[in-house]
Amino acid sequence: MLDQQQLKNWIDAYLKDTDYELITLTISAENDILVEVDRLAGVDVDFCEKLNRYLVEKLGDEDYSLEVGSVSLTDPFKTKMQYEKNLGHDVEVLVDGKKMRGQLVSVDEDTFSVDIEEKVAVEGKKRKELQVTTYTWRYDQPKYVRYDLKF
């Protein structure tokens, strides 16, 4: 089996002077390696190809399969940078068993905020009205947050 820490060290060394971040590194029992990277400006396919070649050279004659690429649009955010990248975009948040959709409006060191349009009771009116409410969570509170693909 491949050494995940050694592989992570190689990737970290390769990414050191770039604006890319390692998002996912998995190695299956069959030595299927998945490396996902991301950056604020988006991922360049040529960069992934170069990282792939670098890792192939480092891995040598090991028996493995290697996939290097960007994070899927539908994958949950894993790093603060991914929240920053999606600032101003619509996101889906699953928190306390409830799916909520809204616009990601702020990101700081410990929390992020989402404006969510919802129907609320208004005093003196029979019908609920749509209003925007800003919800703020710590990064570890929701089960997931991801880009909201509206189909």
**How many domains is the chain built from?**
2
CA angle 83/86/89 to nearest 5° reads 130
Token pair of 65 as six digits = 């399969």
Cβ atoms 11, 25 nearer than 8 A: yes
Final residue belonging to a domain, choices 70, 89, 115: 70
- Asked whether residue 136 is domain-assigned, the answer is yes
- The tens digit of pLDDT for each residue in 34-58 reads 999 999 999 999 999 999 999 999 9
Can you tell me the distance from the alpha carbon of 121 to that of 128, in angstroms, rounded to the nearest whole number? Answer: 5
Q: Supply the range of the domain harboring residue 140.
A: 80-147
The rounded distance, in Å, linking the Cα atoms of 99 and 95 is: 7
75 is a domain residue: no
Q: Mean pLDDT, consecutive 10-residue segments, the chain of 151 residues?
A: 91 97 95 96 95 96 94 93 96 96 97 94 85 96 94 61
* Tokens at 36, concatenated: 């996902």
Structure tokens at 27: 């190695």
